[in-house]
């Protein structure tokens, strides 16, 4: 990946040429075939990913239910935050929907970047925090919608019981 290509991503816009060069030394390109699991929930958080081409879905499996798709990552998007944040394991799974090209950085290398190039590391981590905040806000809205739909179903059940139609499946 070239410096010019990297600067097309919002995450890296405004970085100096020297800062981009530091980042490029940490990145490796990797391609995943369609329907390939990139990482599984609960496995060692080794890489932070930036999607270059393709599409990736993020799945979360609660202990008491089926896996849920919690995010769709498109080019320029990031995933695998656990590694960037120094966590030991991934809290969700990532699956390539179609053939997907990523740039990946080892979590330890990001930590070294912050140590040896604090200005670059601080900007990157601040932008990453903003992206995480945005995704969590979107997820919160999705969860509230799901809960709202669930409450609508509960209300419908109560209406059916009141109207004497409790045997009708909902």
Domain ranges of the chain: 3-162
- For the entire predicted model, the pTM comes to 0.74
164: left (phi over 0), alpha (psi -120 to 50) or beta: left
**Which of 2-6, 73-77, 113-117 is predicted least confidently?**
2-6
Of the pLDDT bands very low, low, confident and very high (cuts 50, 70, 90), residue 123 is: confident
Give the pLDDT confidence score for residue 23 in this predicted structure.
Answer: 87
Cβ atoms 11, 127 nearer than 8 A: yes
- CA 25 from chain centre, in angstroms, equals 23
- Looking at residue 42, its pLDDT comes to 95
- Report, as an integer, the average pLDDT of 27-35: 96
Per-residue pLDDT at 84 exceeds 90: no
Does domain 3-162 fall under CATH 2.60.120.10? My reply is yes
> Given this model, what pLDDT does residue 63 score?
84
- Residue 11 CA: distances (Å) to CA of 53, 138, 144: 15, 18, 28
């Amino acid at each position: 990946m070239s410096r010019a290509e990297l600067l097309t991503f919002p995450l890296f816009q405004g970085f100096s040429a020297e800062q981009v060069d530091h980042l490029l030394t940490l990145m490796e390109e990797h391609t995943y075939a369609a329907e390939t699991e990139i990482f599984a929930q609960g496995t060692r958080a080794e890489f932070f990913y930036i999607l270059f081409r393709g599409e990736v879905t993020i799945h979360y499996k609660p202990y008491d239910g089926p896996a849920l798709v919690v995010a769709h990552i498109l080019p320029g998007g990031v995933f695998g935050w656990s590694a960037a944040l120094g966590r030991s394991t991934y809290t969700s799974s990532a699956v390539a929907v179609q053939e997907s090209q990523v740039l990946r950085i080892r979590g330890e290398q990001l930590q070294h970047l912050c140590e040896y190039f604090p200005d670059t590391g601080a900007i990157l981590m601040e932008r990453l925090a903003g992206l995480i905040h945005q995704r969590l806000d979107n997820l919160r809205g999705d969860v509230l919608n799901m809960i709202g739909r669930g409450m609508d179903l509960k209300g419908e059940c109560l209406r059916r019981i009141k109207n004497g139609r409790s045997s009708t499946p909902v």
